[in-house]
Amino acid sequence: MVLGPTLRKILPYINFAVATSALGFQYFVLYPWHKELDKDFRELREEQNLTLEEYHKKKLQRLEEIECNIVRLEAHHNRIADAQQKLGERICSTDNLALASK
């Protein structure tokens, strides 16, 4: 396609106008928007860090509660085992007395 002589003279000015408009749009619209997004992302990251920190604190607290419950259950189990052992010794000793008296 052959361009006319008039269009060949005007084309560099049109190209300059389009490039200048694009640069102006990038500088005056996209750049401030980028800064605003960057600020919002930083705030979001801080909020996420606080949320994660709170979650980890609650998780550690829950693990400590579980650990305390396990320790209590083990102690309770040991008391029961000791009581059963003592009861078994009493039964054995009363059986021995009964056998000795016969």
Cα–Cα distance for residue pair 52/65, rounded to 1 Å: 20
- Return all residues near 3 (Cβ < 8 A) that are at least 6 apart: 11
How does pLDDT run across 34-88, given as a tens digit for each residue?
A: 999 999 999 999 999 999 999 999 999 999 999 999 999 999 999 988 888 887 7
